Amino acid sequence: MKKKIWISLLLLLVLRVFVAYSLDLNFSTWWNIDCGNDVVRPPDLEKFLYWDTDEDLTQSGINARINPTTQVPKEMNTLRFFPDEAQKNCYSLPFINSQRYLIRAGFYYGNYDALSSPPTFDLYLDQKKWSTINTSIIEGSIYHEAVYVTRASGFLSLCLVQTKEGDVPFISSIEAVPLPSDLYFHLDTNYSFILVTRTNLGGDEVRYVDFTSDEKYNRIWTHGEIPSNCISVPTLPDISFTLENEPPNTVMSDSIQSRIATNPIIMTVDLPPRTPYPQLAYFIFYFNEIAALPGNTRTILIYSDGQMKSTVTTEFIKCKVVTIKAVTVAGPTINVTLGTTDGSTLPAIISAMEVFIRGESYEVANGLVTDEGVDELSGNVPAVNEVSGVTREGRDAMGHNELSAGVASVHSLGCLGIDVVHLVSQRPHGGRQTVECKIYN
């Protein structure tokens, strides 16, 4: 009996934490594009996400479907391919000016053309090279993500460029999330930053799954391999204040720790293939401390390719974020080593890590994006705003149709004193819907 009460109390506590965090989730600002789909995909009751088609956003390309259409996530079942050899295969996306975005492009080949020949091609962001997409590297979905501050044109151009005859570019999904200005503020606004890895160390993959998720910006924290000299340890997320870059609590709830105090944690980070070297790498490390024993200390030394870059002394139930900017790396892999000082009694520990490389410069001169870097394209320069038919009329700055008044439905979990409110907003044109979910205590 007593045990039952404790379990109920614990459940209530967990729910309260969950309520506090769910209130912050703001996915009505996320933009999800299911490339190659003929119909808009309304929110399902699981993810509450609205997936637009791409038909108003590009004038070229042909829709195709994977067979069988059983891919998870669903947006990987359709794609748009660009067989046109003119090679100007651009999306023109209406965006808010001077806003930092997380932009993620998804690719799943799935032998849609029955040629068993996954292509390689280039991806451009506002006329500058973002990355090379080699779809034969992994069989599953491939994501390329960048953090990028939009220019003043009101549009962002995303272009797929053929690099080899016969290799037909395609794209399966585009996701964009506006980020608050203090998120990733160490990443300079005049450059694109290309995600190399975002790893949850000690735990499973964490991403937005449904409205209970505490990943608020649609980031994917992949499961990190545990080095053989390390163990996974539970850690407590510090909920007393908002941590820099707002890593989800589920990511901070576990860490990896070296088994022996004198043994460093060594992690290797692979840079994307075909990246020219050297590169400038930006590291973000997330630390968490659970050891409260008096007399114990933990001061971690952070090395990149054997060079000491920073130190951090952990504190009990306090998360710390360390950003190391603009480290020149020779590639194709970076050795990240976390050692401890001689005085430390506890071994190195870490909860999560993000690594970006700095992409092209978008420095503004006389109000125009400079031509730096465009020459490398050798004649394949995709024009800005290739698509002339796109209109922002009747759309908000994110390109969504404007919303009209909402209809609410309420579920009550009376026994726990919690109400779940489903707010359904009707879009005025085409009967489109978006769903927001709020929880009140």
Ligand X SMILES: *[C@@H]1O[C@H](CO)[C@@H](O)[C@H](O)[C@H]1NC(C)=O
Among 306, 343, 367, 430, which residue sits at the site for ligand X (rule: CB under 6 A)? 306
Provide the mask over 383-422, with x wherever binding to ligand X is found by CB under 6 A and - wherever it is not.
----------------------------------------
Report d(CA 429, CA 234) in Å as an integer. Answer: 49
Shortest CB 304 distance to ligand X, Å? 9
CB 422 within 8 Å of CB 409: yes
Q: Which is nearer to ligand X, 63 or 323 (CB)?
A: 323
Among 29, 71, 141, 323, which residue sits at the site for ligand X (rule: CB under 6 A)? 29
- Residues ≥6 apart with Cβ < 8 Å to 396: 402, 403
Residues of span 317-376 touching ligand X by CB under 6 A:
330, 335, 363-364
CB 200 within 8 Å of CB 224: yes
Provide the mask over 92-131, with x wherever binding to ligand X is found by CB under 6 A and - wherever it is not.
----------------------------x-----------
Q: Which is nearer to ligand X, 185 or 317 (CB)?
A: 185
Q: Which is nearer to ligand X, 61 or 118 (CB)?
A: 118
Q: Which is nearer to ligand X, 278 or 394 (CB)?
A: 278
Indicate the SS3 state at residue 7.
helix
Is residue 246 near ligand X by the rule CB under 6 A?
A: no
Strands of the sheet containing 62-65, edge to edge, are 62-65, 78-81, 170-171
Which of 68, 25, 70, 75 shows the shortest CA–CA distance to 50?
Answer: 75
Distances (CA, A) of 279 to 15, 121, 146, 284: 44, 21, 15, 16
Q: Which is nearer to ligand X, 175 or 289 (CB)?
A: 175
Q: Which is nearer to ligand X, 195 or 271 (CB)?
A: 271
Q: How many CB atoms lie within 10 A of CB 329?
A: 22
Among 305, 318, 323, 374, which residue sits at the site for ligand X (rule: CB under 6 A)? 305
Q: Which is nearer to ligand X, 68 or 306 (CB)?
A: 306
Shortest CB 416 distance to ligand X, Å? 23
Shortest CB 327 distance to ligand X, Å? 12
Polymer length of the chain: 441
Indicate the SS3 state at residue 284.
strand
CB 395 within 8 Å of CB 62: no
Q: Which is nearer to ligand X, 73 or 331 (CB)?
A: 331
Shortest CB 188 distance to ligand X, Å? 4
Shortest CB 271 distance to ligand X, Å? 11
Shortest CB 364 distance to ligand X, Å? 5
Provide the mask over 181-210, with x wherever binding to ligand X is found by CB under 6 A and - wherever it is not.
-------xxx--------------------
Is residue 275 near ligand X by the rule CB under 6 A?
A: no
Residues of span 131-170 touching ligand X by CB under 6 A:
134, 136-137
Helix (H) or strand (E) holding 334: strand 333-340
The residue type of 363 is: E
Binding footprint of ligand X, residue count (CB under 6 A):
16
Q: How many CB atoms lie within 10 A of CB 11?
A: 11
Shortest CB 330 distance to ligand X, Å? 6
Report d(CA 221, CA 209) in Å as an integer. Answer: 12
CB 198 within 8 Å of CB 286: no
CB 324 within 8 Å of CB 283: yes
Q: Which is nearer to ligand X, 335 or 433 (CB)?
A: 335
- Residues ≥6 apart with Cβ < 8 Å to 172: 35, 36, 75, 76, 78, 79, 106, 107, 108, 141
89: β partners: 160
Shortest CB 400 distance to ligand X, Å? 11
121: β partners: 133, 162
Q: Which is nearer to ligand X, 38 or 270 (CB)?
A: 270
φ, ψ for residue 425 (rounded to 5)? -100, 130
Provide the mask over 215-234, with x wherever binding to ligand X is found by CB under 6 A and - wherever it is not.
--------------------
Is residue 26 near ligand X by the rule CB under 6 A?
A: yes
Contact residues for ligand X, defined by CB under 6 A: 26, 29, 120, 134, 136-137, 188-190, 274, 305-306, 330, 335, 363-364
